[in-house]
Structure 1
Amino acid sequence: MRLDFLQNPPTQKHPNQLLIAPSYPNPSPINPSELASLQNDSKALAALFGGDMSVPFGFLCAHWLELLTRISKTHKIAYAISSHQQGYAAIKLLDKPIYKLIPDKQSGLITSKSLLEAIAQGCTCLIVPFVNEDILTQNPIKDLKATLQKHTKNAIFITDISYALSLNLPIPDIIDSHTLLLINGESLGLLRSHGALIAKDFIAPEIFPKTLSTPKLFAALQTSIRSLAPSPQDTKEIFYTTLQSLIKTDIGLFAPLAHTLPNALPLRFSSIKARNLLQALLLENIYGINGAQCLYGLFAPSFVLQEMGYSELESRELLSVSYTQTPDFDKLCKTIAYCYSQLRVLGI
């Protein structure tokens, strides 16, 4: 059973085959038909979201650092620390200070209040994900964009829609000349480092990264998006109540389920280290993660929770759960509860 769908989705064979279909890695710079094909793919992908052009964006630390560096030349950046883990790594390398936007500890959301505080500090570029990393809560993107438009005129708004897109959820119609959408192809089953930035008559094209494009990148992304399964039935409440009936007060949440994506639960297991529980679950063929840094093998607990004010020890209590296939909840929860109880008995 996979409980890490959002952060570790299955790769899709056909879209990845498109990436390697060209006989050569670079289209001819003087062949009009090859250039026209690339431009048409760029426009077609963008049109799915109301945009008019797509730009390659690989989502690795180097790509984030280039984007942030270009933006920082003309804007003060307010950056949600709950964005992609590689973006979080990049802000630590940036040679200019940024204003941190941190999810509220009670709601698990980036709030309009925090945006207003950033604007008051002179921030003119705000980077906020549709879904917060690790805790998997949905930020009120339309409300945040409306707040920005009401209180500023020329600020740039950038949001990563990848997790919501992977579940085939509706994407708010917010793109305009001051807004960029980010799409991580990895969330759609493409190999890592294949993503895009979607724009529409954007006012500051000089901030676009100069990443070299894979010729069929935009076509592969379109194929992945068009082949997405329907949004799954949301059964997270059943999952949580079943688990709670077994573990009682030793199970909790790092954010309300009302604010999380369908079938996404930021579970909190009292007084254990998630790594030990994950190892025990793996023996039962159940795959899970503490958070993005756990998934990437960085041996560190959730950076999002630590930025929210939780201690390192508390952050180790997280299991960031997401799934699309409805499991046998009774069997799954009994297995999880048994592994957890054994760890508590052993004191590890």
Structure 2
Amino acid sequence: MRLDFIQNYPLNLQANEILFSNIYPNLSPIDPKDYAQHKQDIEEFSDFFGGREAYSFGFLCTDWFFLLEQIAKNGLIAYGISNHQQGYQACKLLGNFPYKLIPDSQSGKIEIDSIKKAIMNKCRCFIVPFVNEDILSINDIVSIQMLLQEELKDYILIIDISLAQSFQYPIPKILNSHTLFLLNGESIGLLRAHGSIIAKDFAYPFLFPPNLSNPMVFKALNQGVKNPLQVSYQDSKKLFYSCLKESLGDDLSLFVPLENTLPNSLPLRFASIKARNFLQALLLHKIYAINGQECLYGLTRPSFVLQEMGYTQLQARELISVSYRHLEDMKNLCEILKDIYLQIRLLEI
């Protein structure tokens, strides 16, 4: 059973077959048919999100660093620390860490007030995830864009839509000359380092990285977004939480209110445990879950998102970041989670 659905999205075999379907790594430099097809793939992909153009963006630290460095030359950055872990690492490599946009400890969202404070601090570029990593809460990107349009003549808004797209959550078509989308191909089943920047008449083309990409990447991305894995349209997160809460009482809580999270997504807080021990015990039952991105990538560190929000390392270790496609036997799963939790508390490990 997978409780890490959107964080560790299954590979889309058809999309990856497309990615490696070319015999040669480069298109013919003089064959107009090749370039016409490539252009069509880009147009179809970007149109899916209301855009007109798209560029390769691998979502690795080097990709993020180039993007951040280019922006930093032209204005102050307000960076949502709940973006992708590789973006967070790239921020550390800059001379000065950007102005931090931190999810509110109560709502779990990047609030409008924090955007206003960033504007007061003369920030002009805002990099915000639609869905916050680890805690899985949804930011109001439409209101953020409206505020920037009202307050600033020149601004750049970059929105990571990856986790929302994993769950096929509706993405507002708000691309314009000041707004970009980022999509991590890994979040729709492509192998790592095959993502995209999506744009529509963007006013600052110097931000687009001069990457040499796989010529089939946009055809593969099209396959990923248009033929995704089916997810349950019944949001059972509240029922799941109630079932678990009934067994564990005050030992179970949430880092973020469920009304602010994606469907079937729960940032569970198990009191006084270390997530690693809990996750190892779950593996014996063939149940896969994670604490946060740094746990997912094998870095054995608790959620940096929670720590930036003000939680201690010990508190951040209490997170089990749950997302699922569907639950076949919720009652049995709750019993397993309860038993493992109580055993760990009894053993004091």
Shorter-chain TM-score range: over 0.9
Deviates more, 1:227-236 or 1:185-194: 227-236
1:1-348 equivalence runs, <5 A: 1-228=1-228, 229=230, 232-348=233-349
Write the distance in 1 (CA, Å) between the matches of 2:65 and 2:232.
33
Note the residue ranges of structure 2 that are not aligned, 5 or more in a row.
none
Report the Cα offset of residue 96 of structure 1.
3.8
Q: How many equivalent residue pairs?
A: 348
Percent identity over the alignment is 53
Q: Which amino acid aligns with 1:87?
A: G
Write the distance in 2 (CA, Å) between the matches of 1:226 and 1:91.
33
Write the distance in 2 (CA, Å) between the matches of 1:230 and 1:333.
21
Q: Which amino acid aligns with 2:104?
A: D
Checking the alignment, whether the CA contact within 8 Å between 1:72 and 1:96 is kept in structure 2 is no
Deviates more, 1:26-35 or 1:140-149: 26-35
Write the distance in 2 (CA, Å) between the matches of 1:282 and 1:232.
27
Checking the alignment, whether the CA contact within 8 Å between 1:16 and 1:220 is kept in structure 2 is yes
Q: Which amino acid aligns with 2:347?
A: L
Report the Cα offset of residue 329 of structure 1.
1.0
Secondary structure of 2:147's counterpart equals helix
Write the distance in 1 (CA, Å) between the matches of 2:106 and 2:240.
21
Checking the alignment, whether the CA contact within 8 Å between 2:232 and 2:326 is kept in structure 1 is no
Deviates more, 1:35-44 or 1:292-301: 35-44
Report the Cα offset of residue 31 of structure 1.
2.3
Write the distance in 2 (CA, Å) between the matches of 1:243 and 1:151.
45
Write the distance in 2 (CA, Å) between the matches of 1:17 and 1:320.
31
Report the Cα offset of residue 36 of structure 1.
1.8
Checking the alignment, whether the CA contact within 8 Å between 1:169 and 1:231 is kept in structure 2 is no
Write the distance in 1 (CA, Å) between the matches of 2:233 and 2:197.
26
Report the Cα offset of residue 326 of structure 1.
2.2
Secondary structure of 2:93's counterpart equals coil
Checking the alignment, whether the CA contact within 8 Å between 1:51 and 1:198 is kept in structure 2 is yes
Report the Cα offset of residue 28 of structure 1.
2.0
Q: Which amino acid aligns with 2:290?
A: I
Q: Which amino acid aligns with 2:219?
A: A
Q: Which amino acid aligns with 2:241?
A: Y
Write the distance in 2 (CA, Å) between the matches of 1:153 and 1:29.
41
Checking the alignment, whether the CA contact within 8 Å between 2:258 and 2:266 is kept in structure 1 is yes
Q: Which amino acid aligns with 2:101?
A: L
Checking the alignment, whether the CA contact within 8 Å between 1:168 and 1:231 is kept in structure 2 is no
In structure 2, do the counterparts of structure 1 residues 71 and 100 end up closer, same or farther at CA, with 3 Å as the change threshold?
same
Write the distance in 1 (CA, Å) between the matches of 2:238 and 2:20.
42
Write the distance in 1 (CA, Å) between the matches of 2:96 and 2:252.
41
Report the Cα offset of residue 240 of structure 1.
0.3
Write the distance in 2 (CA, Å) between the matches of 1:26 and 1:66.
23
Report the Cα offset of residue 230 of structure 1.
5.5
Write the distance in 1 (CA, Å) between the matches of 2:144 and 2:7.
24
Secondary structure of 2:253's counterpart equals strand
Report the Cα offset of residue 121 of structure 1.
0.6
Checking the alignment, whether the CA contact within 8 Å between 1:274 and 1:290 is kept in structure 2 is yes
Alpha-carbon displacement from aligned partner over 1:304-325 (angstroms, at most 9, x marks no partner): 0000000000000000000002
Write the distance in 2 (CA, Å) between the matches of 1:287 and 1:108.
24
Secondary structure of 1:128's counterpart equals strand
Q: Which amino acid aligns with 1:326?
A: L
Write the distance in 2 (CA, Å) between the matches of 1:313 and 1:96.
28
Report the Cα offset of residue 231 of structure 1.
5.7
Write the distance in 2 (CA, Å) between the matches of 1:104 and 1:320.
17
Note the residue ranges of structure 1 that are not aligned, 5 or more in a row.
none
Write the distance in 2 (CA, Å) between the matches of 1:171 and 1:273.
35
